[in-house]
């Protein structure tokens, strides 16, 4: 049995002291109001999980044109800020720490989800061989249009506004979502970026949009309260790159120089097997990043402990286990059995499968 004590040793992540290294991954739950305002019950959902070393919220769009799934929240309207403030207050009242994940889906969208039936925004007009979740269920992604330079600038400003709104909503920091085939990732990888201007072609050009987003976000937040999420293996949402190791190597080096609070890496995807050569790539890339590193991907208490003890990561995020186990750190600490997950209630629905999973010890009503 692997010693899991290391999961419960405090650690400093940028400007934030984490009481443990069992962090909650961003988890889309599709329960926000149609206008992007978080559901009121989300206050309970996140507060229940405040024992995490840190919570990263579900991905949250910075503009109405960045929405890709029905029922996802936004951070671009005063109503969003007010609702998120209720959530951060609830988490802080339970002693927790919470970061907002800033998001734009790019081409992983459908015209029915966007204002006035607009087409999705993307670096290039390449349709994703992927489905997204609309009011009619799963539908093929719509064909996107290639963003103009003016549109790119508008989206960068939307990230700045989203970062400012997140600060007003009382978050402890923000995470820039640059993973899993969404807009920033689409600019980074050459299967989705065929531009011939300053935002395409060379790796440096393809990183330009990410750099501009980071400049915008860090104009609002100190760098030690800004993190970023990457998925260098590119296994989600019809992604790929001709030279992933060389390409992400340049990104890791750039991010190391940026001196952000952390780099959060999706090292494997649920339901897929990471090949040995892919694992080797991840190990080589890790050596290029000098900073706080968070590992993600089908981890449990034992494997996360080994990853942290080896020095590969300083903390780990857990997704599905946190859905079904609001007190996951305590279950890991005591070796208790985990609750069974009800996958039918992961996306959309009511309070069932959202706030009704049992704790090890019943919470006494106030």
Query: What are the residue boundaries of the structural domains of the chain, listed by start?
Result: 5-345
Burial class of residue 283, CB neighbours in 10 A (0-12, 13-18, 19+):
exposed
Residue 366, pLDDT score: 35
Which of these, 312, 305, 310, 301, lies nearest to 265 by C-alpha position?
Answer: 312
Residues of the chain below pLDDT 50? 1, 363-366
Record the tokens describing residue 318, joined without a space: 């857990």
Residue 2, pLDDT score: 54
Number of residues written out for the chain: 366
Q: What is the pTM of this model?
A: 0.96
d(CA 32, CA 76): 14
Burial class of residue 258, CB neighbours in 10 A (0-12, 13-18, 19+):
middle
Record the tokens describing residue 51, joined without a space: 């024992």
pLDDT of 69-91, one tens digit each? 999 999 999 999 999 999 999 99
Q: Catalytic annotation on 182?
A: yes
Which of these, 108, 33, 34, 35, lies nearest to 66 by C-alpha position?
Answer: 108
Residue 173, strand partner residues: 99
Which of these, 103, 111, 110, lies nearest to 132 by C-alpha position?
Answer: 110
Which of these, 62, 98, 106, lies nearest to 216 by C-alpha position?
Answer: 62
d(CA 81, CA 86): 9
Residue 241, pLDDT score: 92
Which of these, 121, 128, 260, 247, lies nearest to 188 by C-alpha position?
Answer: 247
Record the tokens describing residue 72, joined without a space: 């996802």
Residue 321, pLDDT score: 97
Beta-carbon count within 10 A of 23 CB: 27
Residue 3, pLDDT score: 82
Residue 362, pLDDT score: 55
Of 45, 65, 182, 293, which is the active-site residue?
Answer: 182
User: Domain 5-345 falls in which CATH fold?
Assistant: TIM Barrel (3.20.20)
Residue 268, pLDDT score: 87
DSSP alpha helix (H) spans, the chain: 42-48, 78-93, 149-168, 183-188, 203-206, 208-218, 244-258, 276-286, 301-309, 320-324, 328-334
């Amino acid at each position: 049995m692997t010693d899991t004590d290391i999961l419960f040793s405090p650690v400093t992540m940028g400007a934030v002291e984490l009481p443990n290294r069992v962090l909650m991954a961003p988890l889309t739950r599709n329960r926000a109001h149609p206008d992007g305002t978080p559901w009121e019950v989300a206050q309970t959902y996140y507060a229940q999980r405040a024992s995490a070393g840190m919570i990263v919220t579900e991905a949250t769009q910075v503009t109405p044109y960045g929405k890709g799934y029905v029922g996802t929240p936004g951070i671009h309207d005063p109503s969003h800020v007010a609702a998120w403030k209720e959530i951060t207050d609830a988490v802080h009242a339970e002693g927790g720490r919470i970061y907002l994940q800033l998001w734009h889906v790019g081409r992983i969208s459908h015209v029915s989800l966007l204002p006035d039936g607009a087409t999705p925004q993307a670096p290039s007009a390449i349709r994703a061989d992927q489905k997204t979740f609309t009011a009619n269920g799963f539908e093929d992604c719509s064909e996107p249009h290639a963003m103009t330079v003016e549109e790119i600038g508008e989206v960068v400003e939307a990230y700045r506004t989203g970062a400012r709104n997140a600060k007003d909503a009382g978050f402890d920091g923000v995470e820039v979502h640059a993973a899993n085939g969404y807009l920033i990732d689409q600019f980074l990888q050459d299967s989705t970026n065929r531009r011939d201007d300053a935002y395409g072609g060379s790796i440096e050009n393809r990183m330009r949009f990410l750099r501009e987003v980071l400049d915008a976000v860090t104009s609002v937040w100190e760098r030690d309260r800004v993190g970023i999420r990457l998925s260098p293996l590119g296994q989600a949402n019809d992604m790929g790159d001709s030279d992933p190791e060389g390409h992400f190597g340049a990104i890791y080096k750039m991010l190391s120089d940026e001196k952000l609070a952390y780099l959060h890496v999706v090292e494997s995807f649920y339901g897929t097997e990471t090949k040995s050569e892919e694992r080797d790539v991840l190990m080589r890339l890790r050596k290029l990043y000098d900073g706080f590193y968070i590992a993600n991907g089908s981890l449990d208490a034992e494997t996360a402990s080994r990853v942290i003890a080896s020095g590969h990561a300083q903390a780990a995020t857990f997704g599905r286990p946190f859905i079904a186990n609001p007190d996951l750190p305590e279950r890991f600490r005591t070796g208790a059995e985990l609750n069974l997950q009800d996958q039918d209630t992961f996306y959309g629905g009511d309070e069932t499968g959202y706030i009704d999973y049992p704790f090890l010890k019943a919470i006494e009503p106030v």
